[in-house]
Amino acid sequence: MAPAPSDNPFAIGTLVTGDEFADRADELRLLEDELPSGGRIFLLAYRRYGKSCLICEALRRLEKNTGAIAVYVDLYKASSEREFWELMINQLVAGSREPVKRVVDWLKSLGGTLRPTFSVDQQSGMPTVTLGPVATSAELGRLRERALALPGEIAARGRHPVIVAFDEFQQIHEFDGGRLEKQMRAAFQQHRQVGYVFAGSKPHLLRQMAEDPNAAFYRFGRRLELGPIPAEAWFGYLKPRFGKGRIQVSGDALRRIVELAEGIPYYVMRVCRLLWPRGLRRQTIDISEVDAAFGEIVDEAGEIFAPTWEELTLAQRRTAAALAEGRGHEIFAEAVRKVYELGAPSSVARSLERLRDLGLVGHEGPTTTGARYRIVDPGFVAWVRRQRPRDPIVSGARAPTSAQEQGSQPKRARRRGRL
Ligand SMILES: Nc1ncnc2c1ncn2[C@@H]1O[C@H](COP(=O)(O)OP(=O)(O)OP(=O)(O)O)[C@@H](O)[C@H]1O
Ligand SMILES: [Mg+2]
């Protein structure tokens, strides 16, 4: 029987692991080699490059192959320091399968008004710890101290390594900034047999945390920067998946998928997910369908991009337009500043900084006029380029080269005369 559209093998918006996980062989090897012996890794990547999936796949493998107690803590799930500790304690308790009595004794030792409660979720069977509100800073200090010691205590008791992965670690700044980080470092560096991952989607912030000599985590671990997945690896992954639906995808169409998505996992999977039901109907996929699918994604993403665009100053928009049109390596050049009306180099630098803080722009090389800047989201690149004719501010901008035009603009959008 032919597969149904619901058998779509391209998962999106979930953590993809195991057989569904593509490539990342080198990164997985590094994580699997370093973490069980107490390695510490700073994992940096822009949004949607697949950090969370990589962490979860590495933790899954380490649990399976080394019996490690692997714990994943997503800082976006905590809106206060207390919630952060509650999350970490819960993950450690669940992952370590410590005897209930020991957990309860440990919780009692927290004392104060925290009044922790311990329950077991009926459905998942997972233990759940709930902490009451923190009344004083001394109480928060005690909770912090005890929670920070916990990974080391669990590792010392068992025969298996403990691995703690903090996702979106730059959020730690929101809680208490420098002091908390110093205490974390002081605690973690005493732990034997505990590996740590500090991951973040604002690479410049994480780099600062790990490489600024004044920062608490200065040289505390190795840096692992996650790029796109190379085209060859994608071809090997995508072909058999389309094959499950007996869908013929031409080599050109496959190349187009990876080209438009810039090899970024989220976009590759998103385009393929849209192509799957169409492929089932027609049994083939060609370049024009790939372009149309990407165009639809950009249309949809406009709902997210438009409010962000509204928040930008005109100078920042013009800078984004110049980057979207491939001027990132010469953004400070006089000719480019003139064409795009970007003003003095200092105002370009300010615009770039704001765009970077919003997670829209990244750069290779140091933050100097020599670095190459780029918009890190290919959907945003395509969307910004669509805004151009409607935005009189950049109407004097030079048209992109035909190679750029052909390379990243969906035909559907061109047909509509938007570009
Ligand atoms: N190695 C992979 N193989 C297949 N698909 C992947 C892979 N990595 C990521 N993806 C796809 O990309 C999507 C986003 O991945 P993930 O959530 O790991 O990115 P992220 O970098 O953590 O994003 P964010 O910065 O938004 O948290 C996943 O839902 C999945 O569809
Ligand atoms: Mg993530």
CATH code of the domain in which 138 resides: 3.40.50.300
Say yes or no: 196 and 77 in one domain. yes
**Which protein residues have their CB within 5 A of the ion that is ligand 2?**
52
CATH number assigned to the domain comprising residue 405: 1.10.10
pLDDT at 44: 96
In a domain, 186, yes or no: yes
**Whole-number mean pLDDT of the chain?**
88
What distance in angstroms lies between residue 81's CA and the mean position of ligand 2's atoms? Answer: 20
Cβ of 24 less than 6 Å from ligand 1:
yes
State the pLDDT confidence band at 410, using cuts at 50, 70 and 90. very low
Query: Counting runs of H as helices and runs of E as strands, what totals does the chain give?
Result: 18, 11
Cβ of 344 less than 6 Å from ligand 1:
no
Say yes or no: 79 and 185 in one domain. yes
Ligand 1 atom with the shortest distance to the CA of 45 = 21
Say yes or no: 46 and 160 in one domain. yes
Q: Mind listing the pLDDT tens digit for each residue in 38-77?
A: 999 999 999 999 999 999 999 999 999 999 999 999 999 9
pLDDT at 111: 74
Say yes or no: 128 and 178 in one domain. yes
Say yes or no: 248 and 191 in one domain. no
Cβ of 53 less than 6 Å from ligand 1:
yes
In a domain, 220, yes or no: yes
Least confident span in 12-21, 119-128, 156-165: 119-128
The residue nearest atom 23 of ligand 1, judged by CA position, is 48
Cβ of 339 less than 6 Å from ligand 1:
no
Domain boundary among 261, 286, 304: 304
**pLDDT > 70 fraction of the chain, expressed in percent and rounded:** 90
In a domain, 398, yes or no: yes
pLDDT at 99: 79
Say yes or no: 43 and 157 in one domain. yes
In a domain, 17, yes or no: no
State the pLDDT confidence band at 405, using cuts at 50, 70 and 90. very low
pLDDT at 127: 78
In a domain, 16, yes or no: no
Ligand 1 atom with the shortest distance to the CA of 15 = 29
Ligand 1 atom with the shortest distance to the CA of 269 = 31
Q: Is the pLDDT of residue 252 over 80?
A: yes
Ligand 1 atom with the shortest distance to the CA of 264 = 12
Structural domain boundaries, residue 378: 312-415
Q: Is the pLDDT of residue 407 over 80?
A: no
Cβ of 21 less than 6 Å from ligand 1:
yes
More confident residue, 17 or 390: 17
Say yes or no: 208 and 236 in one domain. no
Q: Which of 12, 44, 48 to mutate to test the pocket of ligand 1 (most atoms within 8 A of CB)?
A: 48
Cβ of 270 less than 6 Å from ligand 1:
no
In a domain, 382, yes or no: yes
User: How far is the C-alpha of 372 from the C-alpha of 12, rounded, in Å?
Assistant: 30
Say yes or no: 125 and 33 in one domain. yes
Say yes or no: 173 and 127 in one domain. yes
Q: Mind listing the pLDDT tens digit for each residue in 93-122?
A: 888 888 778 888 888 887 777 788 888 878
What distance in angstroms lies between residue 379's CA and the mean position of ligand 1's atoms? Answer: 15
How many structural domains compose the chain?
3
How much is the average pLDDT of 236-250? 95
Q: Is the pLDDT of residue 360 over 60?
A: yes
Cβ of 233 less than 6 Å from ligand 1:
no
In a domain, 408, yes or no: yes
More confident residue, 134 or 290: 290
User: How far is the C-alpha of 30 from the C-alpha of 153, rounded, in Å?
Assistant: 25
Domain boundary among 241, 275, 304: 304
Ligand 1 atom with the shortest distance to the CA of 22 = 3
In a domain, 19, yes or no: no
CATH number assigned to the domain comprising residue 264: 1.10.8
Q: Is the pLDDT of residue 187 over 90?
A: yes
How much is the average pLDDT of 157-172? 93
Q: Is the pLDDT of residue 248 over 80?
A: yes
Q: Which of 53, 57, 205 to mutate to test the pocket of ligand 1 (most atoms within 8 A of CB)?
A: 53
Contact 243, 64 (CB under 8 A): no
Cβ of 169 less than 6 Å from ligand 1:
no
Cβ of 91 less than 6 Å from ligand 1:
no
pLDDT at 408: 39
Say yes or no: 148 and 276 in one domain. no
* b/e burial code for range 135-162 (CB count within 10 A of at least 16 → b): eeeebbebbbebbbebbbbbbeebebbb
Q: What is the dihedral of CA 191, 112, 94, 198, to 10 degrees?
A: -40
Q: Around 123, how many Cα atoms within 13 Å sit in the side-chain half-sphere?
A: 0
272 Cβ partners below 8 Å, 6+ apart?
10, 238, 241, 242, 257
What distance in angstroms lies between residue 174's CA and the mean position of ligand 1's atoms? Answer: 24
Q: Is the pLDDT of residue 171 over 50?
A: yes
Comparing CA positions, the residue from 138, 142, 116, 141 lying closest to residue 129 is 116
What distance in angstroms lies between residue 220's CA and the mean position of ligand 1's atoms? Answer: 26
Say yes or no: 50 and 177 in one domain. yes
pLDDT at 406: 37
Q: Mind listing the pLDDT tens digit for each residue in 361-404?
A: 998 876 566 789 999 999 999 999 998 754 444 444 444 433 33
pLDDT at 403: 36
What distance in angstroms lies between residue 11's CA and the mean position of ligand 1's atoms? Answer: 10
Domain boundary among 304, 337, 370: 304
pLDDT at 104: 80
Q: What is the largest CA-CA distance in the chain?
A: 72
What distance in angstroms lies between residue 167's CA and the mean position of ligand 2's atoms? Answer: 7
Say yes or no: 184 and 258 in one domain. no
pLDDT at 131: 86
